[in-house]
Structure 1
């Protein structure tokens, strides 16, 4: 006979990762107002309802925090950018982008291969050298800041194995042309910090890469 119903209205829409569907889907953000109904007729307001996100595909409803998780498309882009930035930083730290001769060639090739695999198939050694030239003499400080900024957005969405894999990616580039240089270790430590790895875990992973 009597009850409380919620009238929903759409206030926003977009793409999100639907946990129920297990993939990227369209969503509608809904705002609601509660009303006391008698015989199905609304008679008195009962305040607002908590806004929700509704999946257009499965009609599942979720709290707004569901929008904090990146879509798989966005996560792929973040990973690609993370790999690219780490590679540039390690090449700059090891001198691999400071010469067009044979020095640093192995590191540049390792970087190119990993960057291509991450989703930049057009990457070449020449492009890496061009980027280094564009950054100029202050490349290391700039890349240190870029590493921290890029990884700060990615790290919260990665489990420990994924964060460790990114550090090992950088370590392999550094080791491609010989043992770690002091500047490479400094940059790898910065990468570990940006990935929220403990100092002991960072040292363990760098030692593992060195002994591989």
Structure 2
């Protein structure tokens, strides 16, 4: 006779709890499990007490959760606050463009060398069709909209508007950008400002505002601005 010691029952479970999920939305997100952009389902659930596999008694709600369509893992809904790779790239390009415009507005657009350096930085960020003429025109239009003409008063003309723009563009990006990335963004602006000589007061103020919008402490911002003055 075969001993039954150590054998496990193979029949159905008598009772348990099952979760029934309902889809309430979908979209694309950055999946922490897969490490890339994936489709997702936004789920809410209900726990059911089951007997012989049949759901009988409600046992409360479950979720909401986000389910990855690829790996099927479940995540809390705050995972949707992280931008997708595509969105993050677009945010970074916009940040570089905005910082560049702010520096140009503070320092003026009379220097062809500065415009050349600025356009190169923006193109390196992924805006391949950016030209010196486009940057010059945008800064001049901003100055005209603010009620000033000419190039020299450009910093006063659009400084306030660009300060608001800096916080609107850099604020959402900063929590998702590592410290070296935030420092690089500030240094790019600093090197544009230094192309035609030492910082002007307006340029230093704008770059300090950039550091603040990027959640860099004032002391670190000051150190980075000084480091940019040292040729690498």
Q: Could you tell me the TM-score, scaled by structure 2's length?
A: 0.87
Match of 2:94 in 1: 81
Matched, 1:151 2:158: no
5+ long unaligned stretches in structure 2 = 1-13, 149-156
Match of 2:20 in 1: 7
Match of 2:131 in 1: 124
Match of 1:165 in 2: 184
Instruction: Give the 3-state SS of the residue equivalent to 1:205 in structure 2.
Output: helix
Match of 1:106 in 2: 113
* Structure 2: distance between partners of 1:206 and 1:133: 26
* 1:56-95 pair list within 5 angstroms: 56-95=69-108
Instruction: Give the 3-state SS of the residue equivalent to 2:229 in structure 1.
Output: helix
Match of 2:40 in 1: 27
Encode CA deviations 1:127-166: one digit per residue, 9 max, x unaligned.
1122122212331111111111100010010111111111
* Structure 1: distance between partners of 2:158 and 2:219: 28
Q: Could you tell me the TM-score, scaled by structure 1's length?
A: 0.95
- How many residue pairs match? The answer is 206
* Structure 1: distance between partners of 2:82 and 2:90: 14
Matching residue within 10, 26, 43 for 2:56 = 43
5+ long unaligned stretches in structure 1 = 97-102
Moved over 3 A (4+): none
Answer with 1 or 2: which has the greater Rg.
Answer: 2
Instruction: Give the 3-state SS of the residue equivalent to 1:53 in structure 2.
Output: strand
Instruction: Give the 3-state SS of the residue equivalent to 1:203 in structure 2.
Output: helix
Instruction: Give the 3-state SS of the residue equivalent to 1:211 in structure 2.
Output: coil
Q: What's the CA shift for 1:95? A: 0.8
Instruction: Give the 3-state SS of the residue equivalent to 2:20 in structure 1.
Output: strand
